[in-house]
Amino acid sequence: MGSAVEYQTLLVGLDSHAQIPDISSYAVEEFLSHKPVAIRWYPRLVGWESRLLWLLSWPSIVVSVSNYMLGFVTLMFTGHLGALELAGASIATVGIQGLAYGIMLGMASAVQTVCGQAYGAKKYAAMGIICQRAMVLHVGAAILLTFVYWYSGAALKAIGQSESIAEEGQVFARGLILQLYAFAISFPMQRFLEAQNIVNPLACIAVVVLIFHILLTWLVVYVLDYGLLGAALTLGLSWWFLVIIQGLYIIFSPSCKETWTGFSMKAFKGMWPYFKLTVASAIMLCLEIWYFQGLVLISGLLTDPKISLDSISICMNYLNWDMQFMLGLAAAASVRVSNELGAGHPMIAKFSVVVVNTTSILISIVLSAIILIFRVGLTKLFTSDSQVTQAVSNLTPLLALSVFLNGIRPILSGVAIGSGWQAVVAYVNLATYYIVALPIGCVLSFKTSLGVAGIWWGMLIGTLLQTTTLFILTAKTNWDAEVAKASDRLKLSANVETLDLVDSI
């Protein structure tokens, strides 16, 4: 271990007027280990970490937004088929597709954890095995979910939808079965690439597929007039286009030659430890996604369902857009933390958490201010109905608070994924959203005059509790212990030899 003076010398070039040089994580870890670190060095350290963070973040944000836009574009075109078709597609998207999306995306976060830590530990060959193991489990989940899609009409009627809307929803859901299996392959591959910092190609692929999807949907819906089923099948086809390009990149790109060595039967060995992490990951994210989707369904049971549904849908739309942005930032945070833990760098992992949370808070303050300042103008993008506009305007202060909290919560969840805390966060989500927030929201909305605002107040309380709990867990984390846990996790889940990470610090 070198002296503090040697490592201070390494950072002299990090001035605000020069390009930040490539300094190794090992050097920065050694520098941070020499406490106390003088305050004058922190702006330069923040610059070093921010550079790495944004190199990962902006492509991840592009991927997140582009993938979200695939479904958004489909609903836009479906709206031109008629009100009944749009209602059926919308309720199937929220009630059926949302169920599968939460499960698949949640399961994929296990890939992010183990692959990210394997990459940091330079156990490259293990990453391809982990990705294949994830695909096997995802396809198994997709087979089970196929029955939910096929018999979705009965499920939609059970949650109070009319027969006509449920029938249209079933047509749309059955058409989305193709997309379900694309989820099962695409999500693990995407997390596999992100874990090794391959994000720019992912962003390019996502944008190309989005453009292809817009043109194909226009052709199928407007020109060929294949209706609701055609729109759903087109969405599935576009997702499979995404799968094919991602797969070809992994197989043929020199960037993956060390991490992808071909298909192997090793993917079926050591399945149980990885399966447990996958289940915890799925439960963690599903409890969160389903809660927010459930709020939309509950709003339809209020006294004035049309105004309630329209107002909360518009506000949720803005929250979803903000969420896509923050999910991209959270994915980058997860990769940074998992890579540094795998490499045995607890000080950098901790420092990265501080930098990414500070960054997200500053962004959220700006976004919240924009929503408050332009509340009426933004609402008119969706509706000209004066009652809906007023209802949305009344919800805007709560929406702004949600956007602010949304700048912290997903980032802390991303840190949790990078650290492998999915099981703990699952319990936190269950307690804060379902035991606390949901009852409070229902009481305030149905038993008081607050109406839809009561639902939102319940959500705010739950989000605040969840954010506070995750913040405390993160603040109290022993990052040296997390390095040791990363070593054990790789040994169990990735079938690699014991890693002497702690000794290398």
Q: Are residues 242 and 193 in the same domain?
A: yes
Q: Is residue 39 part of a domain?
A: no
Residue pair 112/418 in contact by the 8 Å Cβ criterion: yes
What local confidence, expressed as pLDDT, does residue 39 receive?
77
Q: How far apart are CA 344 and CA 113, in angstroms?
A: 15
Q: Are residues 363 and 415 in the same domain?
A: yes
Q: Are residues 84 and 231 in the same domain?
A: yes
- Nearest CA to 164 out of 93, 234, 231, 82 is that of 82
Q: Is residue 34 part of a domain?
A: no
Q: Are residues 244 and 381 in the same domain?
A: no
Q: Are residues 403 and 312 in the same domain?
A: yes
Q: How far apart are CA 324 and CA 61, in angstroms?
A: 7
- Nearest CA to 461 out of 429, 431, 495, 432 is that of 432
Q: Is residue 171 part of a domain?
A: yes
Q: Is residue 101 part of a domain?
A: yes
Sign of the CA dihedral running 104, 110, 113, 115: negative
Helix (H), strand (E) at residue 81: none
Q: Are residues 107 and 254 in the same domain?
A: yes
Residue with tokens 């096929």: 150
Q: How far apart are CA 25 and CA 37, in angstroms?
A: 16
Q: What is the DSSP-derived secondary structure letter of residue 224?
A: S
pLDDT under 70 in the chain at which residues? 1-23, 38, 296-297, 299-310, 313, 378-385, 418-419, 486-487, 489-505
Q: How far apart are CA 132 and CA 494, in angstroms?
A: 11
Q: How far apart are CA 183 and CA 143, in angstroms?
A: 12
Q: Is residue 95 part of a domain?
A: yes
Q: Are residues 191 and 245 in the same domain?
A: yes
- Nearest CA to 15 out of 48, 38, 39, 37 is that of 48
Both structure tokens of 82: 């008629």
Q: How far apart are CA 129 and CA 148, in angstroms?
A: 30
Q: Is residue 158 part of a domain?
A: yes
Q: Are residues 210 and 339 in the same domain?
A: no
Q: Are residues 209 and 342 in the same domain?
A: no
Q: Is residue 276 part of a domain?
A: no
Residue pair 391/454 in contact by the 8 Å Cβ criterion: no
Say which residues have a Cβ less than 8 Å from residue 343's Cβ, sequence separation at least 6. Answer: 25, 26, 120, 121, 122, 501
Q: Is residue 409 part of a domain?
A: yes
Query: How many Å from the N-terminal Cα to the C-terminal Cα in the chain?
Result: 9
Residue pair 221/81 in contact by the 8 Å Cβ criterion: yes
Q: How far apart are CA 337 and CA 303, in angstroms?
A: 47
Say which residues have a Cβ less than 8 Å from residue 184's Cβ, sequence separation at least 6. Answer: 104, 135, 138, 139, 141, 142
Number of separate domains in the chain: 2
Out of 254, 269, 284, pick the residue that ends a domain.
269
Out of 243, 269, 295, pick the residue that ends a domain.
269
Q: Are residues 336 and 230 in the same domain?
A: no
Q: How far apart are CA 471 and CA 120, in angstroms?
A: 24
Q: What domain range includes position 97?
A: 71-269
Residue pair 70/239 in contact by the 8 Å Cβ criterion: yes
Residue pair 420/116 in contact by the 8 Å Cβ criterion: no
Q: How far is CA 88 from CA 95, 168, 304, in A?
A: 10, 5, 20
Q: Are residues 395 and 466 in the same domain?
A: yes
Q: Are residues 190 and 234 in the same domain?
A: yes
Angle formed by the axes of helices 25-33 and 42-78, to 10°?
Answer: 130
